[in-house]
Copies of this chain bind each other. A is one copy, B any other.
């Protein structure tokens, strides 16, 4: 910004205070700020409009402020309306699509992986949309309302994939995702929606895509993770500190692009790595990270790279089964103890 700019241009967002809010409220604020700032941003999805404001109430009040023109309830046709979002994006709009649950993103699969993901490489036309996908489980919602299907998209060239674990990142990464000129899939964590609160900066607090964050520094072992599992890892780290094990927790934040530099910096420091996420371990994003570590940091490794993830089964509904399915602080701590004892 030049000095003359700074004299004449008023800040676009009113200077409100930072405040404590939930992960969900942070997303809501990010969306709202960005819609106020940029008239090309609009929302599409099932049940997001009117008084209802979406299955999780992220867009409560949005219809009233922005009108139905910018907050569009869609018929239950993910394939078609994600395709339409691509068309809008080609002509300069920035649609933010809510799929009601991340599980339903598979219904729009072709519009994402075949159309939007390939367009820029093929004929240089940008497709700047964001799909917001409420993902993850732990809330007894069974095989179709608990999925973590980010691996499908990380494997697909042309997409970006984001998975914030804190209110600050939820807002900050969402702002960046909306401003990005590429199709971005934004995995929100349902279990964090209302359970996690933090101080979130007011106004523009954009966080760059592709930069991991050290959620907790440590020297003995690196736990690489993202989403709700970050908090399980930190809880495990706290528990293990009492046992004299100093755990570093890396929160990836963005899965594509993946911040391999940050991962390698941590692992070359600690010499040990556990990769963990709630998604199916088999063929999950953790496999890529483990493979990168062994390729790039082989000589620094003092122990095998371990992975802890969901089991290779549909996410079961019943509480004892779902608990057995998912990684948690206890399982993470146990894996860490094994690795440290190696």
Does A287 lie at the interface of the complex (its beta carbon under 8 Å from any beta carbon of B)? yes
Q: Which of A291-338 contact B (CB under 8 A)?
A: 291, 293-296, 298, 301, 303-307, 311-314
Does A113 lie at the interface of the complex (its beta carbon under 8 Å from any beta carbon of B)? yes
The contact sample of 20 A-B pairs, CB cut-off 8 A, is A103-B114, A106-B110, A106-B113, A109-B109, A121-B143, A122-B314, A151-B155, A151-B283, A155-B280, A155-B282, A157-B280, A157-B282, A256-B282, A283-B283, A283-B288, A290-B294, A291-B307, A298-B301, A298-B304, A298-B305
Besides the known contacts A109-B109, A157-B313, A294-B304, 16 further A-B residue pairs in the complex with CB atoms under 8 A apart: A106-B113, A106-B114, A121-B313, A151-B155, A154-B283, A155-B280, A157-B280, A157-B312, A157-B314, A158-B313, A158-B314, A282-B288, A287-B288, A287-B291, A290-B290, A294-B305
Does A286 lie at the interface of the complex (its beta carbon under 8 Å from any beta carbon of B)? yes
* Neighbour of A284 across the interface among B155, B290, B311, CB < 8 A: B155
User: Given that A113-B106, A294-B294 are known contacts, is A283 also in contact with B286, CB under 8 Å in the complex?
Assistant: no
Does A91 lie at the interface of the complex (its beta carbon under 8 Å from any beta carbon of B)? no
A283 touches B155 (CB 8 A): yes
Task: List B contacts of A284 (CB < 8 A).
Answer: 155
Is chain A's interface secondary structure helix, strand, loop, or mixed overall? helix
Q: How far is the CA of A109 from the CA of B113 in the complex (A)?
A: 11
Interface string of A133-161 (1 = CB under 8 A from B): 00000000001100000011011111000
Q: How far is the CA of A293 from the CA of B291 in the complex (A)?
A: 9
Task: List B contacts of A157 (CB < 8 A).
Answer: 280, 282, 311-314
Please tell me the number of chain A residues within 8 Å of chain B, measured between CB atoms.
46
Task: List B contacts of A296 (CB < 8 A).
Answer: 304
Q: How far is the CA of A296 from the CA of B303 in the complex (A)?
A: 11
Does A285 lie at the interface of the complex (its beta carbon under 8 Å from any beta carbon of B)? yes
Task: List B contacts of A304 (CB < 8 A).
Answer: 294-296, 298
Return the chain B residue nearest A288 by Cβ: B287
Return the chain B residue nearest A290 by Cβ: B291
Does A118 lie at the interface of the complex (its beta carbon under 8 Å from any beta carbon of B)? yes
